[in-house]
């Protein structure tokens, strides 16, 4: 079993500028940014600027740049693809049905990451097994589609993340103070109660489903076919 720092160091040393920490500046991602900075070598930090992020997330980007002396690479979705999607299904299509929410995530996040990965050999994310049932099998190192996907914190608990954050005075996203435990796009994320799970605030209006956007886990079965059709129609419009 490898330690988080050891895995992160391997990615940074092995791949140099073709390695990046991809983060939305939640606590796990901030631990990775801080850990990478302490390792001493320059590291790329990339975020997906979906166009629907909370103002607090934009503030975190500035905080990270000031604290660690790095430039956050803000990667936006293709404006033509976004325009086609909004024209076809409306700005808040994600409220209508799950497959349209998945389409929004595909255009604003998944397809953006796919484009980023063409310029990387490896990247690191803040997934933990204890975050949700859908993440229980997350591997610390996985070779997927010709790229190394590193999840150095896969075996960490929420308490481990909190302990590191406090001990190292890591900047914390302001929305945590408002009761958020998972932070994504502004219209798709809310605060949770003490009785709810970590990811209960994501797409809370959906009764069923894995509450994943597709960046880390692909939807299955009928959803895949419906989503493929919608993406194909959008790209060919």
Q: Which residues are catalytic?
A: 213
Q: Each residue of 151-165: b (16+ CB within 10 Å) or e? A: bbbbbbeeebbeebb
Strand 44-48 and strand 19-22: the pairing is parallel
CA 202 to mean position of chain CA atoms: 12
- Whether the CB-CB separation of 112 and 220 falls below 8 Å is answered with no
Angle at 120 between CA 127 and CA 153, to 5 degrees: 20
- Whether the CB-CB separation of 164 and 171 falls below 8 Å is answered with no
At 72, phi and psi to the nearest 5? -70, 125
What 3-state class would DSSP assign to 5? helix
Q: Each residue of 174-195: b (16+ CB within 10 Å) or e? A: bbbeeebbbbbbeebbbebeee
The structure tokens listed for 37 are: 């900075």
CA distance between the termini of the chain: 48
- Whether the CB-CB separation of 192 and 88 falls below 8 Å is answered with no
**Residue in this structure with the two tokens 């503030």, named with its chain if needed:** 59
């Amino acid at each position: 079993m490898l330690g988080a720092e050891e895995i992160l160091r391997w990615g940074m040393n092995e791949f140099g500028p073709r390695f990046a920490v991809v983060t939305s500046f939640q606590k796990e991602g901030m631990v990775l940014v801080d850990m990478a900075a302490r390792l001493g070598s320059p590291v790329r930090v990339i975020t997906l600027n979906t166009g629907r992020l909370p103002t607090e997330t934009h503030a975190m980007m500035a905080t990270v740049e000031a604290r660690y002396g790095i430039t956050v690479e803000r990667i936006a979705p293709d404006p033509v693809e976004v325009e086609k999607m909004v024209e076809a299904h409306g700005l808040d299509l994600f409220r209508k049905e799950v497959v349209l929410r998945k389409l929004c995530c595909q255009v604003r996040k998944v397809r953006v990451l796919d484009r980023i990965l063409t310029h990387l050999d490896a990247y690191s994310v803040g997934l933990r097994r204890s975050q949700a049932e859908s993440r229980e099998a997350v591997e610390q190192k996985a070779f997927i589609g010709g790229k190394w996907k590193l999840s150095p914190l896969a075996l960490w608990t929420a308490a481990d993340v909190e302990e590191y954050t406090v001990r190292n005075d890591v900047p914390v996203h302001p929305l945590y103070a408002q009761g958020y435990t998972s932070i994504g796009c502004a219209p798709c994320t809310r605060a949770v109660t003490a009785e709810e799970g970590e990811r209960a605030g994501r797409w809370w209006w959906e009764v069923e489903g894995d509450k994943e956007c597709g960046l880390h886990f692909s939807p299955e079965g009928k959803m895949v076919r419906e989503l493929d059709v919608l993406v194909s129609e959008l790209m060919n419009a």
